[in-house]
C-alpha cells in the first residue's frame, strides 16, 4: 500500500467506522499467513473484501473507498482507533447477511462430486461428541442471523366476535373460509382439496376490517401477525422483497396462524400501471409467497392471509384469482339495523339514561360507519361531562328551577372557550374532593347528548361526493301543495316508515321526474324532500358528470350510485337531466349513448337499488330518452306549473317574511295584479328583491342615484319599509320569464305525458288541507 499521509487520523465518520469494523475482522478470516502490518495487505484483495462484506459500499466511489481503506490501514498499523467509546459494539455485529441470500447456491455447490447416501444407511455422526459439536457449530452459525433480523410482533388478540356489531353476514363468510382450514386442516388433506389461502376484506375506511381480522384470531386462539403494507417498502433494491419473504417465513414457522396485511393496495398495484420496477417486483414476490402456502409446503398447518383495502379495483388482477385471495368479502356502510347493533355494542359499558332509543339514534345516523359511531359516542360522552359540570355547579349554588333553566340556556348560548373554562373552574373549586356515590348515582349520558354530538361528528362517507343536507323545509315553499303531497308518499314516507310499505308489497323505491317551466321551484322541492326525510343527499348537476375521456363519464355515473347504495337511504337529485340523458338516435354520439345506457342500468339493472331514491328535474322532458320514463325508473312524472293568483299570494307571503312591509302594502292586490299574471316563483322572488332595492334607493339617496348618500346616522334601519309604490317600481323592471308560447307548449306536453290537470280550486284545497 502507498505511504499514508502524516499526522494522527480520527475515525469518527460513519463511513470510516463501517470500513474499520469490516477490516478489523480481515486477518482472522484470511488465515495465519496474513501479514501483521496492515500496510502490507494486498490492496485489490482488500477492496474486494470490503464490497463483498457490505454491498452498500458498492455505491461508494472507488477513489473514496481506496482513500478510506488506506486511512483505516494506517490507523490499524499505528494502534489508533475510533474516538467514540461505543464503537466497539460495531465489531460484534455483522453488517450484512450474505449467507441468507446465497445459502441455496452454497448448499448445491457443496454437494457436487459427493455420493448420495444409500437407503438405510446410518447418517448419524460417528460419535455423540461429533454430533454435539456439529449442533453447536450450526447454532453458532445461525446466531448472528437471528440477532440481526428483528422478529415481527406476534400477538394473540383478545377481541371476540361479541365485540363486533352489524357484521353478522361477514362473520359467517369469514368462519367458512378461515375457521375450518385453521382448526381442521387434516380434513382438506384427507380429501385432497386445497383450503382457501387468503381472503380480501374491502370496504370504506372505518367499517371494521382490522377489527374483524383481530376478532377472527381472537376466537380461534392462533398467532396473529399484523403488518402495514407501506412499512414493507424499502429504499434499497431487493430489501422490500426480502422483508416479504421474511414475514411469510415467520408465519409458516408459527403455523397455524393468521397473517394480516393492512392497506395491501399500497404494495400491490396493477403491474401494467406501476411506475417503478420495484412495485412490479414486490407484487411478483407476494404472489410467489402466497403460492408457497399449500398444505404440502407448510407441513399440513394452514397459514391464512387476510388483506384489507378500501380500493379493491386498484389491486393487481393476479392477486385476486383463486388460489391466492380466494374470497372477497365486502364490508359496506352499515344500514339502520346494523347501526343499531353497533350502537348497542359501543354503549354496552356506558351509563345511559333509561329512555335511550337505539332505533331512533340509528335512524338519525345514515352513512355512519363503525368508526364514526365510535366518535359519536365519545363526543356524546364529552357533552355529558360538560353538562354534568354545569348541573352540579348550579345545584351547589342552590338556585331555583327557573334560575337553573335560565343559567342552562345562557350556558348553551355561550359556547365560548372562556365560558367553558369558567364553568370547569367553578366546578373544581366547589368539588375539591371526589364525588360521593350519591352524587354520582343520577349521572348518565342522555339522548340529548347524542343529538348535540351529531352536529359535531361528520360521517367519513359524506366528506366527499355528498352535498350538505339542505336547510330548506316545506314551510319555505309557497304553494305547490299538490306536488308536495305526491313527494311525501313517494319519497319521504318510504324512508320514514319502510315497514308499512313492505307490508303492502311496495319494496322498490320509485323515481320522480319534476318537470315544468323554469323557475317554478323544482330544485327547491328536491331540497325540501331531502331535509324533510333526514337522509343523505347527493346533488348532481347533469353536465358535471360528462368527461371528454372515453369511459370516464360512465364511471362517474356508477360512482354516484355506488356511493348512494353504500349510504342508503339516500336521495340522488339530478338537475337538468336532459343534458345527461338525451334521446338516443342516429344523430347522437356513441359517448352520449353509453352514458344513457349506464344510467338506465343503474336505475333498473341486475343490482338492487335498495333505499336509493332518484329525483330528477328538467324543463325539456321531450328530449329525455323514452326508456328513462318507463315504470321502474322515473315512473312518477309530476308537472310543476305556473302558480295561480292564490298560490302567488302564498309565495309572496313566504318570500316577504324577512322584508319589512309598510301598512299600505297589500300582497293580495300584488298577487292579483294583471301585471303579475304568468309570473313563476323565481319571477316573484325577483319582484320582491327589486321592491326592496327601490326602498333602499329612496331611503339612502335623497335626490337620485347621482347624489351623495345622506348621513347614515340620521337614517335608522328601523325606519326602512317597503311600500306599495316600490312594488309598482319593481313591476316596471320584472317581466314574466315564461312566454305565452312556452305556456302552450307545456300544455301540449302535459297532454302527451298524461299528467292530470289540477284545477285552481283543487290546488287551493290541497294547500289548506
Tens-place pLDDT, residues 52-92: 777 777 777 777 777 777 777 777 666 555 444 344 443 34
Q: Quick one: pLDDT band at residue 595, thresholds 50, 70, 90?
A: confident
* Mean per-residue pLDDT, 661-668: 89
Q: Of 686, 738, 765, whose CA–CA distance to 481 is shortest? A: 765
- 149 vs 391, more confident: 391
Is 722 buried (19+), middle (13-18) or exposed (0-12) by CB count in 10 A? buried
What are the helix and strand counts (H, E) for the chain?
A: 33, 11
The pLDDT value recorded for residue 143 is: 37
**Structural element, H or E, at residue 201:** strand 198-202
- Partners of residue 307 on adjacent β-strands: 200, 261
Sign, CA dihedral 166-167-171-173, equals: positive
The pLDDT value recorded for residue 691 is: 92
* Mean per-residue pLDDT, 350-372: 83
CA–CA dist 165, 341 (Å, integer): 5
Task: Judge whether 263 and 309 are in contact, CB under 8 Å.
Answer: yes
CA–CA dist 448, 356 (Å, integer): 9
The pLDDT value recorded for residue 431 is: 62
Question: Could you tell me how far CA 41 lies from the centroid of its own chain?
Answer: 62
Instruction: Could you list the beta-strand ranges (E) of 577-660.
Output: 612-618, 636-639
The pLDDT value recorded for residue 705 is: 52
Half-sphere exposure of 266 (CA within 13 A, CB side): 13
CA angle 209, 212, 218 (to 5 degrees): 145
**Structural element, H or E, at residue 648:** helix 645-655
Instruction: Could you list the beta-strand ranges (E) of 624-751.
Output: 636-639
Is 570 buried (19+), middle (13-18) or exposed (0-12) by CB count in 10 A? buried
CA–CA dist 502, 508 (Å, integer): 9
CA–CA dist 339, 565 (Å, integer): 15
CA–CA dist 525, 653 (Å, integer): 18
Give all strands of the β-sheet with 570-575 in edge-to-edge order: 536-541, 570-575, 612-618, 512-515, 636-639
CA–CA dist 134, 125 (Å, integer): 9
**Structural element, H or E, at residue 539:** strand 536-541
CA angle 746, 532, 521 (to 5 degrees): 25
pLDDT tens digits for range 461-519: 666 655 566 677 888 787 788 888 888 888 888 888 888 888 888 877 778 899 889 88
The pLDDT value recorded for residue 730 is: 92
pLDDT at residue 259 above 80? yes
The pLDDT value recorded for residue 298 is: 81
The pLDDT value recorded for residue 688 is: 92
pLDDT at residue 388 above 70? yes
Alpha helix positions (H), 397-520: 401-413, 417-430, 437-440, 447-454, 481-487, 493-496, 498-503
The pLDDT value recorded for residue 63 is: 75
CA–CA dist 473, 697 (Å, integer): 32
pLDDT at residue 137 above 70? no
Percent of the chain that is helix, strand, coil (3-state, to 5): 55, 10, 35
Question: Could you tell me how far CA 198 lies from the centroid of its own chain?
Answer: 24
- 89 vs 658, more confident: 658
- 158 vs 757, more confident: 158
pLDDT tens digits for range 432-441: 667 667 767 7
Greatest Cα-to-Cα distance within the chain, rounded to the nearest angstrom: 123
Instruction: Could you list the beta-strand ranges (E) of 106-176.
Output: 154-155
Give Cβ neighbours of residue 765 (< 8 Å, ≥ 6 apart).
none
Question: Could you tell me how far CA 58 lies from the centroid of its own chain?
Answer: 44
Q: In the predicted model, what is the mean pLDDT of the chain?
A: 76
The pLDDT value recorded for residue 385 is: 82
Q: Of 249, 253, 130, 262, whose CA–CA distance to 202 is shortest? A: 262
Alpha helix positions (H), 9-102: 14-23, 26-30, 43-53, 62-78, 98-101
pLDDT at residue 206 above 70? yes
- Partners of residue 636 on adjacent β-strands: 512
Q: Of 24, 32, 27, 33, whose CA–CA distance to 94 is shortest? A: 24
Question: Could you tell me how far CA 183 lies from the centroid of its own chain?
Answer: 34
pLDDT tens digits for range 299-343: 888 888 999 998 888 888 888 888 888 888 888 888 888 888 999
The pLDDT value recorded for residue 430 is: 63
**How far is residue 409 from each of residues 389, 390, 660, measured CA to CA in Å?**
15, 11, 29
Task: Judge whether 511 and 615 are in contact, CB under 8 Å.
Answer: yes
Give Cβ neighbours of residue 288 (< 8 Å, ≥ 6 apart).
none
Q: Of 513, 567, 500, whose CA–CA distance to 538 is shortest? A: 567
The pLDDT value recorded for residue 342 is: 92
Amino acid at each position: 500500500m502507498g505511504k499514508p499521509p502524516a499526522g494522527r487520523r480520527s475515525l469518527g465518520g460513519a463511513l470510516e467506522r463501517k470500513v474499520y469494523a469490516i477490516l478489523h475482522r480481515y486477518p482472522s478470516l484470511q488465515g495465519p499467513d496474513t501479514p501483521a502490518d496492515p500496510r502490507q495487505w494486498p490492496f485489490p484483495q482488500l477492496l474486494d473484501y470490503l464490497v463483498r462484506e457490505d454491498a452498500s459500499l458498492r455505491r461508494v466511489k472507488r477513489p473514496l473507498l481506496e482513500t478510506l481503506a488506506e486511512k483505516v490501514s494506517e490507523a490499524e498499523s499505528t494502534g489508533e482507533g475510533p474516538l467514540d467509546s461505543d464503537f466497539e459494539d460495531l465489531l460484534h455485529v455483522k453488517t450484512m447477511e450474505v449467507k441468507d441470500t446465497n445459502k441455496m447456491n452454497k448448499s448445491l455447490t457443496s454437494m457436487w462430486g459427493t455420493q448420495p447416501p444409500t437407503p438405510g444407511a446410518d447418517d448419524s455422526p460417528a460419535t455423540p461428541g461429533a454430533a454435539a459439536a456439529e449442533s453447536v457449530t450450526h447454532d453458532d452459525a445461525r446466531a448472528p442471523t437471528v440477532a440481526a433480523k428483528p422478529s415481527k410482533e406476534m400477538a394473540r388478540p383478545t377481541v371476540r366476535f361479541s365485540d363486533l356489531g352489524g357484521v353478522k353476514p361477514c362473520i359467517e363468510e369469514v368462519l367458512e373460509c378461515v375457521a375450518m382450514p385453521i382448526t381442521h386442516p387434516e380434513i382438506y388433506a384427507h380429501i385432497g382439496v386445497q383450503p382457501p389461502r387468503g381472503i380480501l376484506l374491502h370496504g370504506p375506511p372505518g367499517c371494521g376490517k382490522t377489527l374483524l381480522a383481530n376478532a377472527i384470531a381472537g376466537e380461534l386462539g392462533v398467532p396473529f401477525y399484523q403488518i402495514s403494507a407501506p412499512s414493507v417498502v424499502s429504499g434499497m433494491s431487493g430489501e422490500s422483497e426480502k422483508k416479504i419473504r421474511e414475514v411469510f417465513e415467520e408465519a409458516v414457522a408459527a403455523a397455524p396462524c393468521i397473517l394480516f396485511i393492512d392497506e395491501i393496495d399500497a404494495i400491490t398495484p396493477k403491474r401494467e400501471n406501476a411506475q417503478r420496477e420495484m412495485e412490479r417486483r414486490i407484487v411478483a414476490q407476494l404472489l410467489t409467497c402466497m403460492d408457497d402456502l399449500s398444505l404440502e409446503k407448510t407441513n399440513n398447518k394452514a397459514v391464512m392471509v387476510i388483506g384489507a383495502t378500501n380500493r379493491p379495483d386498484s389491486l393487481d388482477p393476479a392477486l385476486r384469482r383463486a388460489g391466492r385471495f380466494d374470497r372477497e368479502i365486502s364490508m359496506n356502510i352499515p344500514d339502520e339495523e346494523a347501526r343499531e347493533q353497533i350502537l348497542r355494542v359501543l354503549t354496552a359499558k356506558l351509563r345511559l339514561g333509561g329512555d335511550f332509543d337505539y332505533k331512533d339514534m340509528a335512524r338519525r345516523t345514515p352513512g355512519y360507519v363503525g368508526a364514526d359511531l365510535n366518535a359519536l359516542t365519545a363526543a356524546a360522552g364529552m357533552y355529558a361531562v360538560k353538562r354534568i359540570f354545569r348541573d352540579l355547579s348550579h345545584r351547589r349554588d342552590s338556585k331555583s328551577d327557573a334560575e337553573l333553566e335560565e343559567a342552562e340556556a345562557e350556558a348553551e348560548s355561550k359556547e365560548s372557550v372562556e365560558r367553558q373554562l369558567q364553568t370547569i373552574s367553578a366546578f373544581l373549586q366547589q368539588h375539591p374532593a371526589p364525588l360521593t356515590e350519591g352524587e354520582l348515582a343520577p349521572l348518565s349520558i342522555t339522548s340529548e347528548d347524542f343529538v348535540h354530538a351529531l352536529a359535531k361528528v361528520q360521517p367519513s362517507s359524506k366528506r366527499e361526493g355528498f352535498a350538505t343536507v339542505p336547510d330548506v323545509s316545506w314551510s319555505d315553499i309557497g304553494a305547490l301543495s299538490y306536488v308536495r303531497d305526491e313527494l311525501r308518499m313517494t319519497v319521504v314516507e318510504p324512508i320514514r316508515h319502510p315497514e308499512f310499505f313492505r307490508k303492502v308489497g311496495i319494496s322498490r323505491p320509485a323515481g320522480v321526474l319534476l318537470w315544468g317551466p323554469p323557475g317554478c321551484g323544482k330544485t327547491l322541492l328536491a331540497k325540501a324532500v331531502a331535509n324533510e326525510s333526514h337522509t343523505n343527499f347527493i346533488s348532481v348537476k347533469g353536465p358535471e358528470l360528462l368527461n371528454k375521456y372515453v369511459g370516464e363519464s360512465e364511471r362517474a355515473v356508477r360512482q354516484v350510485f355506488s356511493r348512494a347504495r353504500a349510504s342508503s337511504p339516500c336521495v340522488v337529485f339530478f338537475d337538468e337531466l336532459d343534458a345527461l340523458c338525451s334521446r338516443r338516435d342516429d344523430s347522437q354520439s356513441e359517448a352520449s349513448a353509453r352514458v344513457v345506457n349506464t344510467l338506465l342500468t343503474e336505475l333498473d339493472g341486475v343490482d338492487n337499488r335498495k333505499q336509493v331514491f332518484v329525483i330528477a328535474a328538467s324543463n325539456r322532458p321531450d328530449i329525455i330518452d323514452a326508456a328513462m320514463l318507463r315504470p321502474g325508473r322515473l315512473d312518477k312524472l309530476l308537472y310543476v306549473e305556473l302558480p295561480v293568483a292564490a298560490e302567488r299570494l302564498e309565495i309572496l307571503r313566504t318570500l316577504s317574511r324577512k322584508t319589512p312591509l309598510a301598512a299600505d302594502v297589500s300582497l293580495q292586490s300584488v298577487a292579483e295584479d294583471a301585471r303579475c299574471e304568468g309570473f313563476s316563483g323565481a319571477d316573484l322572488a325577483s319582484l320582491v328583491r327589486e321592491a326592496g332595492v327601490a326602498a333602499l334607493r329612496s331611503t339612502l339617496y335623497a335626490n337620485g342615484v347621482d347624489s351623495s348618500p345622506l348621513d347614515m346616522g340620521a337614517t335608522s334601519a328601523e325606519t326602512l319599509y317597503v311600500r306599495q309604490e316600490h312594488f309598482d317600481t319593481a313591476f316596471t323592471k320584472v317581466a314574466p320569464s315564461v312566454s305565452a308560447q312556452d305556456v302552450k307548449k307545456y300544455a301540449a306536453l302535459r297532454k302527451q305525458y298524461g299528467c292530470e290537470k289540477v284545477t285552481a280550486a283543487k290546488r287551493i284545497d290541497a294547500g289548506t288541507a
